[in-house]
Amino acid sequence: MAETVDFASGDGEAWRAALDAYDRRLAALDKPDLLDADSFYRHDLPLLLHRRDPDPYLAKPELVQLMQWKLSRGKWRPRLMDFVKSLDDKVVESASRKAFAALPDLSKAITELTVLKGVGPATASAVLAAYAPDVAPFMSDEAMVAALGNVKEYTLKQYLAFAEKLQAKAEELSVGGESLTPSDVERALWSSAIASKPPKAPAGGKRKR
């Protein structure tokens, strides 16, 4: 079975195959630091956040690690890392507390996080996805293109449209004992995009995402 999938596909087995190929395709990028960063983001960070229930928050060092993951898996934008490293610990904790408390209201949750310098809707979505993958998918370039077409507008409005489409796709695919979250859908789309087109060399930039 092909391990790539188009967004319009309703073939649950194809989506699962693309998702299952995620780790292999991540490793094929030959970025050793990315493997550790991805393990932290997908496994360690969700546990840390949920241990803080019922009042979860993200600590600044965790935001720095999350940004390392995001930039390593996507396009490297060193200025964003500089901005995040300059943030005050208490400000990060306060903003993230408010954001997690706002869920499942994605509009409010994203807005609470984007007050942080260097944190745009895409980075904010990564924070929310670590805590609530069943509600908030990460706004990756690859999944954005697959779901919305070649529109790379990293705005709250675009994120809400993106999240709605991935939520609907996850619901469509969660039948017959199969269960996929919007975050699973995002990873399957990323996996498919990486398989279909070799990643470009990292490039610098200053745009806040």
d(CA 147, CA 142): 9
Question: Domain for residue 100, yes or no?
Answer: yes
Q: Minimum mean pLDDT among 15-29, 74-88, 178-192: which range?
A: 74-88
Question: Domain for residue 7, yes or no?
Answer: no
Average pLDDT over residues 119-131: 97
Percent of the chain with pLDDT over 90: 79
SS (H, E, C) 114-155: CCCCCCCHHHHHHHHHHHCCCCCCCCCHHHHHHHHCCCCCCC
Question: Domain for residue 206, yes or no?
Answer: no
What is the pLDDT at residue 205? Answer: 44
Question: Domain for residue 6, yes or no?
Answer: no
d(CA 206, CA 28): 27
Q: What is the largest CA-CA distance in the chain?
A: 49
Provide the domain count of the chain: 1
Question: Domain for residue 88, yes or no?
Answer: yes
> Which residues lie closer than 8 Å to 193 by C-beta, 6 or more apart?
142, 143, 145, 146
Q: 3-state DSSP helix/strand/coil percent for the chain, to nearest 5? A: 65, 0, 35
pLDDT above 80 (res 57): yes
Question: Domain for residue 209, yes or no?
Answer: no
d(CA 203, CA 103): 33
Q: What residue numbers bound the domain in which 23 lies?
A: 12-196
- pLDDT band at residue 36 using 50, 70 and 90 as cut-offs: very high
Average pLDDT over residues 7-26: 94
Question: Domain for residue 208, yes or no?
Answer: no
Question: Domain for residue 83, yes or no?
Answer: yes
Average pLDDT over residues 63-89: 92
pLDDT above 60 (res 118): yes
